[in-house]
């Protein structure tokens, strides 16, 4: 996974985008509804980026990051995503 706050939209590797079975249309653009472990759903554009080589690679954009909080654990160096259930 690539963390990129400069991108306004989340981008997916083409192989990952092809694995997403259902997606709708919003203003003529393909969109997907991502469901997180706490049941929260986020509707975002589905953008394919051939520069992402791994079949599961995702570049997080501001469209998705505005729905969550990204926390760095300084003891382990790991990133954690906290998704508020009230949003």
Question: pLDDT-based confidence at 59, cuts 50/70/90?
Answer: confident
Q: Spell out the alpha helix ranges (H) of 1-87.
A: 14-19, 62-65
The more confidently predicted of residues 8 and 33 is 8
Backbone angles phi, psi at 19, to 5 degrees: -80, -15
Pick the CATH number of 2-82 from 2.40.70.10, 3.90.550.10, 3.40.30.10, 3.40.1010.10: 2.40.70.10
pLDDT tens-digit series, residues 24-48: 555 566 677 777 666 777 777 778 8
pLDDT computed for residue 23 by the predictor: 54
What are the boundaries of each domain within the chain? 2-82
Question: pLDDT-based confidence at 6, cuts 50/70/90?
Answer: low
**DSSP-assigned states of every residue in 42-59:** EEEE-EE-TT--STT-EE
Question: pTM for this one?
Answer: 0.57
């Amino acid at each position: 996974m690539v963390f990129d706050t400069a991108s306004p939209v989340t981008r997916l590797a083409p192989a990952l985008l092809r694995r997403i079975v259902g997606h709708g249309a919003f203003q003529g653009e393909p969109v997907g509804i991502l469901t997180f472990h706490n049941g929260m759903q986020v509707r975002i554009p589905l953008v394919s980026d051939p520069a992402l080589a791994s079949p599961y690679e995702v570049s997080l954009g501001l469209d998705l990051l505005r729905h969550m909080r990204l926390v760095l654990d300084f003891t382990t160096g790991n990133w954690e995503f906290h998704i508020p259930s009230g949003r």
